[in-house]
Structure 1
Amino acid sequence: MMMTINSARLEARISKDLHILIKHAAQLEGRSLTDFIITAVQSAAQKTITDTQVLQLSINDQVRFAEALFLPPAHNSAMEKALEQHHHLLEK
């Protein structure tokens, strides 16, 4: 039985200067132009996805977040009223 490989073709028009630059970088790494481009594009795509989907906090923000979780502020009157209404609705 013959196996098929799922693949897609990507084409791009680039300047000669960019082509020379990319080809030179690929040669420096001892890789084919195709392999170099695929690796670079995949890395850039993964970084973009990570940068937009992962929340990164500074040390100060991490501390403030942890304090808010472990030492929440006391309930004010509005919060107490909302909690009472919530409990009342759940009892029905």
Structure 2
Amino acid sequence: MLPANIELQLDKQAIRQYIEKRLDEEVREVFFLIDLKKMSELLCMSERYITDELLHDPRIRICEVRRNRKRWWKYKPLIQAIEEIVSEW
């Protein structure tokens, strides 16, 4: 019987990216409300740009929830509205 010699080469960078992507997808499913800071982080846009370009759109305003002076947005409808707006650009 011949001894088996198996070499396995793993791309650690690709594995890390895949794991981070899957974790990010799972975390996004957990969000219910997000604030402007988190929206900026997820969209890779500045808070000022989001405020000037997106938040005045009626599709975004529908998703807004206010309490006193704090604002949040419902995550799932917000993402759908942003996809519509961005596809129009």
Tell me the TM-score normalized by structure 1.
0.27
Structure with a larger share of its residues in strand: 2
Structure with a larger share of its residues in helix: 1
Q: Report which structure shows greater RCO (CA 8 Å, sep ≥6).
A: 2
Tell me the TM-score normalized by structure 2.
0.28
